[in-house]
């Protein structure tokens, strides 16, 4: 990959200031204030499965990246409060530009997005003329704008199958998802070397130990996990499909190899089952996404009260990023 060059897009507006937590009246009941502000401002609260439990419980809709994109596109609420990471809130703004989109913490990024700067991505594409670029939704608006089709873990398989076999596929930025698709579909792909810092940490040794401890337990894993984890999985899929599997497949005990926030919905939907989070290799809390967990009830309250931080995109960039997202929605 050659090094860079000219900026792919003009500079974005400056990053918003950090939320001022000291401005919150400590006597407030935030679990009552948040719904009140939502009603008062005609706001919809969309949350990803990796959000903390209290945020999931206040949301109008909890979902995976694809379902959240569809909800964001369809809403006629005046404000979309997006409890997820920044690329998800940006996607909401790209698809529904007339809504104000706010998020609790603007610094809620993603290691996959960080691995793929737009200038380097642009250079990579230039080295593969004629290739189709399929890009995972976990990337910046600028990288979306430079891509042909966006995919999520829910629809990637279907979209890869739609590409004529003679076409080279460039897949960015998650190399594990790319390798999983490539192996499953027998389709060679050129992969960007990005990874998710959460899904990369799960321990194969722990899965083997847990399976021995819980005979008959079934393993559900997200395709952002490395092959060493996926080869133990009975089911591989997006967060929504992991949720469906663990709550409906015949079985009693499920080992969950994705961010453990999703277990909250599993317990709500099928409380009589056992869900065991697969631990990471090193005894840390690395199966919690540090970006997702930047969002807290306090910051959610502030973003609704103050209507910031807000996602603001230059129109040229937004329109260019919308094209491959609409392509994705058509093909899904
Ligand atoms: P899903 O599309 O499966 O919700 O994945 C989003 C994500 O960031 C997983 O780490
Ligand atoms: Fe990004 Fe991984 Fe966090 Fe998902 S879990 S938002 S891929 S860092």
Q: How many CB atoms lie within 10 A of CB 315?
A: 8
| CB of 238 shorter than 6 A to ligand 1 | yes
Asked if residue 256 and residue 214 are part of one domain, the reply reads yes
Whether 287 lines ligand 1, by a CB cut-off of 6 Å, is no
Mean pLDDT of 228-253: 98
Is residue 46 lining ligand 2, measured as CB closer than 6 Å?
Answer: no
Using a 6 Å cutoff on CB, does residue 111 contact ligand 2? yes
Q: Is the pLDDT reported for residue 2 higher than 50? A: no
Model pLDDT, residue 281: 76
Q: Which of 152, 258, 290 to mutate to test the pocket of ligand 1 (most atoms within 8 A of CB)?
A: 152
User: Same domain, yes or no, for 93 and 118?
Assistant: no
Which residues are CB-contacts of 200 (< 8 A; sequence separation ≥ 6)?
Answer: 176, 224, 225, 226
The answer to whether residues 103 and 125 belong to one domain is: no
Residue 221 belongs to a domain: yes
Looking at residue 3, its pLDDT comes to: 42
Distance from residue 196's CA to the centre of ligand 2 (Å): 5
Whether 271 and 296 map to the same domain: the answer is no
User: Within this chain, do residues 26 and 105 fall inside the same structural domain, yes or no?
Assistant: yes
**Pocket-testing residue among 46, 65, 88, ligand 1, by greatest number of atoms within 8 A of Cβ:** 65
For the cut 60, the answer to whether the pLDDT of residue 94 exceeds it is yes
pLDDT of residue 63: 98
pLDDT, average across residues 181-197:
98
Tell me whether residue 145 is in a domain.
yes
Does residue 16 lie within any of the structural domains? no
**Ligand 1 neighbour 64 (Cβ under 6 A):** yes
In a domain, 153, yes or no: yes
**Cα-to-chain-centroid distance, residue 208:** 27
Q: What is the mean pLDDT of residues 250-272?
A: 98
Q: 162, 191, 220: which is the final residue of a domain?
A: 191
**Residue ranges making up the domain that contains 251:** 199-277
The angle that helices 86-95 and 315-331 make with each other, rounded to 10 degrees, is 90
Atom of ligand 2 nearest to the CA of 50: 5
* Rounded-to-integer distance, Cα 17 and Cα 275, Å: 39
In a domain? residue 258 = yes
Q: Is residue 323 part of a domain?
A: no
326 within domain boundaries: no
- Cα–Cα distance for residue pair 244/66, rounded to 1 Å: 15
Same domain for 69 and 89, yes or no, is yes
Q: Examine residue 47 and state whether it is found in any structural domain, yes or no.
A: yes
Give the mutation target among 222, 287, 295 for probing the ligand 1 site: most ligand atoms within 8 A of CB: 222
User: The CATH number of the domain where 171 resides is what?
Assistant: 3.40.50.10800
Q: What's the pTM?
A: 0.95
- Euclidean distance between CA atoms 139 and 270, whole angstroms: 33
DSSP 213-243: HSTT-EEEE-TTS-HHHHTT-SEE--HHHHH
Q: How many domains does the chain have?
A: 3
Cβ 90 under 6 angstroms from ligand 2: no
297 C-alpha to center of ligand 1: Å?
21
Range from 10-14, 262-266, 305-309 carrying the lowest mean pLDDT:
10-14
**pLDDT tens per residue across span 269-318:** 999 999 999 988 776 767 899 999 999 999 999 999 999 999 999 999 99
């Amino acid at each position: 990959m050659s090094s860079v060059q000219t900026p792919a897009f003009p500079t974005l507006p400056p990053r918003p200031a950090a939320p001022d937590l000291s401005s919150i009246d400590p006597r407030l009941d935030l679990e009552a204030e948040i719904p009140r502000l939502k009603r008062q401002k005609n706001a919809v609260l969309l949350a990803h499965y990796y959000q903390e439990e209290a945020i999931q419980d206040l949301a109008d809709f909890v979902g995976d990246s694809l379902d959240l994109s569809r909800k964001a596109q369809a809403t006629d609420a005046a404000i979309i409060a997006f409890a997820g990471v920044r690329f998800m809130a940006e996607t909401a703004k790209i698809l529904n530009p007339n809504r104000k989109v706010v998020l609790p913490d603007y610094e809620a990024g993603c290691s996959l997005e960080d691995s793929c700067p737009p200038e380097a991505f642009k250079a990579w594409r230039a080295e593969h003329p004629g290739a189709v670029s399929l890009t995972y939704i976990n990337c910046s608006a600028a990288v979306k704008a430079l891509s042909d089709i966006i995919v999520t873990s829910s629809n990637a398989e279907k979209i890869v199958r739609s590409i004529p076999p003679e076409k080279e596929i460039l897949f960015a930025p998650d190399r594990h998802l790319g390798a999983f698709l490539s192996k499953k579909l027998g389709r060679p792909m050129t992969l960007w070397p990005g990874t998710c810092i959460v899904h990369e940490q799960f321990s194969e040794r722990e899965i083997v130990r847990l399976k021995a401890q819980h005979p008959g337990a079934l393993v559900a894993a997200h395709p952002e996990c490395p092959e060493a984890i996926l080869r133990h999985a009975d089911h591989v899929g997006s967060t929504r499909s992991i949720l469906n599997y663990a709550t409906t497949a015949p079985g009693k005990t499920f080992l969950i190899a994705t961010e453990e926030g999703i277990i909250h919905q599993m317990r709500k939907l099928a409380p009589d089952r056992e869900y065991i989070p697969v631990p990471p290799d090193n005894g840390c809390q690395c199966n919690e996404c540090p970006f997702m967990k930047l969002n807290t009830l306090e910051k959610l309250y502030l973003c609704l009260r103050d209507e910031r931080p807000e996602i603001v995109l230059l129109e040229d960039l937004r329109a260019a990023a919308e094209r491959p997202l609409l392509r994705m929605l058509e093909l899904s």
